[in-house]
Every structure is written in C-alpha cells, then in structure tokens.
Amino acid sequence: MAGRWKNDLKWSDVTPRAAYLNRRQLIAGAAGAAMAGPALGRVKLQTVPSPYSTDQTPNTWEQITQYNNFYEFGTDKTDPARYAGNLTTDPWAVKIDGLVERPGTYDLADILKGVTLEERIYRLRCVEAWAMVVPWVGFELKTLLDRVGVRPSAKYVYFETLVRPEEMPGQRRGILEWPYREGLRLDEAMHPLTILATGLYGEEMPNQNGAPLRLVVPWKYGFKSIKSIVRISLTRKQPLATWNMQNPREYGFYSNVNPEVDHPRWSQASERPIGGGLFARRKPTLMFNGYADEVAGLYAGMDLRKNF
C-alpha cells in the first residue's frame, strides 16, 4: 500500500479545468449524450481533495461518462449515455424513513444546503469487471444519516432507485425487478469512504452516471453503488439487494472486492483497466479494491468466502 495515498492533492492533480472544459465542449453536441445535470441553483462548488483520494491518474470524462452499467436505460454499456438525457432530475426529492428520528421526504436542494461546505473531490478506484479512477464530488453518507438521526435499533441502510419507465426505457423490460434496490450494514454506511456523490470533475453529475445523487462504496463491486436514489431507509433486518435477489449464488449481499472468491462463471483475480485499449493488460485485483487498510476491520472474524 506504500505510495497509494496522498493527503496534499491539489485541483491540478486531477485534470486542468481548461482541458476538462475543452473536452466537454467537444462532446456536448454528441447525439444522445446526457451531459447536463439538474439546475439546482447552487453556487459553483469550491471543492478540495479528500484525504482518501488515490494518487492514481483519473480516467477521462469520456471514459467515465460513455461506458456505464445503468440497466434502467438498457443493458449495453453505451445505452445510459444514449438514453439518459431524457431523465428529469429537477425537481428531485429523497424519502428518508424507517428507524430515524426525523423521517420525511427531503428536497435535494435542501439536503445539499446542509452539506455544500463539506463536499470534496474523492478520487476513488471503482471496479466492476473493469477498473476506473473517478474524481467524484460528494459528501459522506454519514453526514446525512447524522442529520436525520439514526435510532439505536437500526442495523442496515436500504436504498431505492427511481422508477420512471417513461424516461428510463430499460424499466419497460423485465430485465430486473424494479425498483433497483441496495443495502449496506450500518457500520459500512457510516464509514468515511462511503459517499453520496453529486458530481464528478467538479461539475454536476451526468444523468448516465446516476444524477442527481448516487452512492459510491469503492471497496465493493460497482453494482453496490446505486444510482439516482429516491429512498433511504434505516432497518433492523438485512434489506433486499437487487443482484443478490436476482442470483444469490453469483452475487452476495456484501459484494466486497475479493480476488480470492471467484464468480461462478469467471475469475475475479484480475481486472481490466478502462482506457488502455481493447488489448490492455489485466492487472491483479487488490483485496477490498486496494482499501484494505481502511475497511478490513469492518469484517474482522467473518468468513469472506461465505459472506461474499
């Protein structure tokens, strides 16, 4: 792990703003690309790097926004960028209920008013069957949970994605059981690496990446990082999770990145970095996606082959 973490990152360590804007201008007119975020009337964020940021080079805007899994828009990895432009993300509200002191339906703008000064650039590794480094803008999920007041009996956090088939064409098919659902143990949710992301590269979140609010849990496989969240619920019992419901033999509730546990149909011992071309050399997968020093203690004493 030596050399992986760096606490003195500057904005220029991510990508020069002028270079980023030039790229965005070039692709703004691309057919079907959903580049605009919600018009929340916010002042431009004054972001600073998170101490959890990796010193690895981030992927480009195009790589991050044009190659996604977001089954609400289709199963092809180019479908989200092609179809997500029709998604209405303003206004947006999040229902927070269950074992909390202050349940209610909260307007996203009100949620963000309370956390704007805490927003950070989190340059985090994310992995599915491929690997990316993404400069997310976000805030700790713990910040929001503390504001609504978690009751002592709560053990898990449950999330739901928007259901709007008129704007999300993938939901018109029985690909999955909608809404998309996910869950974390409460201690996982309260970890400072677990964030609610509102943007990337210092800009509002593109629709295809989960606008306007998505979860990012960088030591877990990407499908745990639920997009376009409309409900957060605190529960006593372990909640449902979409891929675990779909095929529990292949997708466990925890879904931690563990190179020692093979998927039944393929090895997870290596990963393919995005951006290296079709024949990019695969790299060894790191335990907990390289965040073992930070999160391994959450699973002390657990059989990680059984609790995959």
Say yes or no to pLDDT of 188 above 90.
yes
CB atoms inside a 10 Å sphere around CB 109: 16
pLDDT of residue 112: 87
3-state secondary structure labels for all residues of the chain: CCCCECCCCCHHHCCCHHHHHHHHHHHCCCCCCCCCCCCCCCCCCCCEECCCCECCCCCCHHHHHHCCCCHHHCCCCCHHHHHHHHCCCCCCEEEEEECECCCEEEEHHHHHHCCHHHCEEEEEEEECCEEEEEEEEEEEHHHHHHHHCECCCCCEEEEEECCCCCCCHHHHCCCCCCCCEEEEEHHHHCCCCCEEEEEECCEECCHHHCCCCEEECCCEEHHHCCCCEEEEEEECCCCCCHHHHHCCCCCCCCCECCCCCCECCECCCEEEECCCCCCCCCEECCHHHHCHHHHHHHHCCCCCCCCC
Residue 275 makes CB contacts below 8 A (sequence gap 6+) with 59, 60, 63, 132
Q: Could you report the per-residue pLDDT of 3-53, keeping only the tens digit for each?
A: 333 333 333 334 433 343 443 333 333 323 332 333 333 334 556 778 888
Under 8 Å between Cβ of 180 and 170:
no
Q: What is the mean pLDDT of the chain?
A: 84
pTM of the model: 0.84
Tell me the mean pLDDT in the region 86-110: 97
Which residues pair with residue 263 across a beta bridge? 266
pLDDT of residue 129: 59
Tell me how far CA of residue 261 lies from CA of 49, 224, 228, 284, in angstroms: 33, 17, 29, 13
Specify the amino acid at residue 292. Answer: A
Domain coordinates of the chain in residue numbers? 11-299
| Confidence grade of residue 55 (pLDDT, cut at 50, 70, 90) | confident
| pLDDT at residue 117 greater than cutoff 80 | no
CATH number of 11-299: 3.90.420.10
> What six digits make up the tokens of 28?
């703004």
Question: What token pair was written down for 112?
Answer: 């963000």
How many other C-beta atoms can be found within 10 angstroms of the C-beta atom of residue 137? 21
Instruction: Say if residues 96 and 26 touch (Cβ distance below 8 Å).
Output: no
* Distance in angstroms (rounded) separating the CA atoms of residues 70 and 205: 14
What gap in Å lies between CA 54 and CA 122, rounded to an integer?
Answer: 8
Contact present, 83 and 169 (Cβ < 8 Å): yes
Give the residue among 114, 64, 62, 108 at the shortest CA–CA distance from 88.
108
Longest dimension (CA), the chain: 52
What is the DSSP pairing of strand 214-216 with strand 195-200?
A: antiparallel
56-84 residue pLDDT tens: 899 999 999 999 999 999 999 999 999 99
Express each pLDDT in 246-297 by its tens digit: 999 999 999 999 999 988 888 889 888 888 766 778 889 999 999 999 999 9
DSSP bridge pairs for 140:
195
Handedness of CA 183, 68, 91, 22 (dihedral sign): positive
3-class secondary structure per residue, 87-124? CCCCCCEEEEEECECCCEEEEHHHHHHCCHHHCEEEEE
| Mean pLDDT, residues 149-174 | 98
Interval 162-181: pLDDT, tens: 999 999 999 999 999 999 99
